[in-house]
Amino acid sequence: EAGVVQSPRYKIIEKKQPVAFWCNPISGHNTLYWYLQNLGQGPELLIRYENEEAVDDSQLPKDRFSAERLKGVDSTLKIQPAELGDSAVYLCASSLGTATLNEQFFGPGTRLTVL
Give the Cα separation of 42 and 10 in Å (integer).
19
Give the Cα separation of 80 and 21 in Å (integer).
12
Which positions lie near another protein, rule CB under 8 A? 4, 6, 31, 40-45, 48, 56, 59, 91, 93, 95, 97, 99-109, 111
- Least separation in angstroms between CB 16 and another protein: 27
Q: Select 20 or 45, whichever has its Cβ closest to another protein.
A: 45
Q: Select 51 or 80, whichever has its Cβ closest to another protein.
A: 51
Q: Residue 86 — φ and ψ, nearest 5°?
A: -80, -5
